[in-house]
Structure 1
């Protein structure tokens, strides 16, 4: 289900003067869904408490002409775990979906997927983190309790059943969901898959309705990996190849190789 739970988003933002600080504050303050803004020029850090998606907040920051990278997300309570899936698929489909355990009972799913056909697309956690055959080797829906496929609000559903995401005319689906069955600690190492069609939530009457929601082929997928919570990602230079945080971001965006849109690509 959609959620109004506020989370804190920690961004690294390229800033070198007080005018930068003022510009970032002006872009965020007063926006519906933004509850508070803290800007630290010395550490080039912006902390935003918001009910908007992380991509929406990043777009607001980058509307000032400054690059931003989301370094962590969390709540004011105990750190219960966070994870991220970087999706890749046919037809230049790319996406970043983050999972945050905001309480023992509730998991927040915050994501953006680009390159989709406009309309509804099924979103599911699959049992295996195996991409050797692309999305085909991800296994079936994560279903530890051996139930039939259903809607996120149903008691009778796979744990991995996250319903549908809606792509707009520009091919972007940006969403923020809350789920009561998904637990971050259970899904790390598994995979997330976006389907070509709408999930009928087990109510379509098709032979596949109670198995997959008859949502079509697997369009894009990615392994769910552990990620940083608030203030737990100090990285400025990537240890694997020595590039800076900003070089890494530029390389991620340029590597998407898809048609231009009026909004920034989903990125790290």
Structure 2
């Protein structure tokens, strides 16, 4: 629950997906699976392979629904349903030795940011989630710097009046290692954190209340085990690519391929027919 008048269960956003549709039967399947009180279907465009919805569900839940049709789907753009002006969206493709996930941020208005994500490979239980000041992954998560704290406040919980802007509390992994989360934040501004980093920590964040020994970099939640640079993300209808111009990977295959660097090229050269 975020301070203020909005409740997370009341927040509806508009989402754009690329869906690998090839016929009118695919369109019918998409419409059928989205025929629920939880989703308002805006449009299904077979020619552009595009589906647009309004929903109070998270992006991963809608994508999972789309993929029950047997067709691959890729998240393409995000917008706030409550206003016409797009104030910014961002994405962090979280990665570690065993941990992978996606965190998305959408600025709903000047004072409220929606933060949602799915992270896999975690040990069951709570893990600190923080925005750190540097987008430097040269030494893994340890080179991301301290929590983003432009006002020099004390460490706290995500709902505290005074806290680091980067204090996002904890995410909780179930027995299968997956943590899903969706919450509102009245401190984070998307335009201020582009180029910084998002870090998932080894243990639970005490949110400044545990009395445990803390470090300036990791608080009381232990070292970072997965992290990512926060990158600008597309709003609605701002991303029209179907394949990456540099190597031909389709939008539907991106999840199976390393994002960049030598590992990506090795994957493509090793088995190009798997794409």
TM-score normalized by the length of structure 1: 0.89
Q: Residues 250 and 213 of structure 1: is their aligned pair in 2 closer, same or farther, counting only changes over 3 Å?
A: closer
Q: What are structure 1's unaligned runs of at least 5 residues?
A: 257-268
Q: Secondary structure at 2:118's aligned position in 1?
A: strand
| Residue in structure 1 matching 2:88, options 57, 81, 84 | 81
Partners of 1:221 and 1:122 in 2: how far apart?
Answer: 12
Residue 226 of structure 1: aligned partner: 232
Q: Secondary structure at 1:26's aligned position in 2?
A: helix
For residues 63-95 of structure 1, the C-alpha deviation after alignment (integer angstroms, 9 at most, x for no partner) is 1100000001112321001111111112x2101
Q: What are structure 2's unaligned runs of at least 5 residues?
A: 3-7, 265-275
Is 1:38 matched with 2:37?
no
Residue 142 of structure 2: aligned partner: 136
Contact (CA 8 Å) 1:149, 1:212: kept in 2 or not? no
Q: Secondary structure at 1:245's aligned position in 2?
A: coil
| Residue in structure 1 matching 2:153, options 147, 164, 169 | 147
Shift of 1:43: 1.2
Is 1:29 matched with 2:47?
no
Q: Secondary structure at 1:246's aligned position in 2?
A: coil
Alignment of 1:1-268 (within 5 A): 1=1, 3-4=8-9, 5-30=11-36, 32-76=37-81, 77=83, 78-90=85-97, 92-208=98-214, 212-251=218-257
For residues 135-168 of structure 1, the C-alpha deviation after alignment (integer angstroms, 9 at most, x for no partner) is 0000000000001100111112000000111111
Partners of 1:103 and 1:151 in 2: how far apart?
Answer: 22
Contact (CA 8 Å) 1:203, 1:209: kept in 2 or not? no
Partners of 1:210 and 1:239 in 2: how far apart?
Answer: 41
Residue 264 of structure 1: aligned partner: none
Shift of 1:250: 4.2
For residues 224-248 of structure 1, the C-alpha deviation after alignment (integer angstroms, 9 at most, x for no partner) is 0111111000111212223332343
Shift of 1:27: 1.2
Contact (CA 8 Å) 1:202, 1:209: kept in 2 or not? no
Residue 266 of structure 1: aligned partner: none
Partners of 2:253 and 2:147 in 1: how far apart?
Answer: 36
Contact (CA 8 Å) 2:102, 2:119: kept in 1 or not? yes
Shift of 1:252: 5.3
Partners of 1:160 and 1:12 in 2: how far apart?
Answer: 32
Partners of 1:14 and 1:42 in 2: how far apart?
Answer: 10
Contact (CA 8 Å) 2:80, 2:107: kept in 1 or not? no
Aligned residues: 253
Contact (CA 8 Å) 1:149, 1:211: kept in 2 or not? no
Q: CA RMSD in A?
A: 2.0
TM-score normalized by the length of structure 2: 0.87
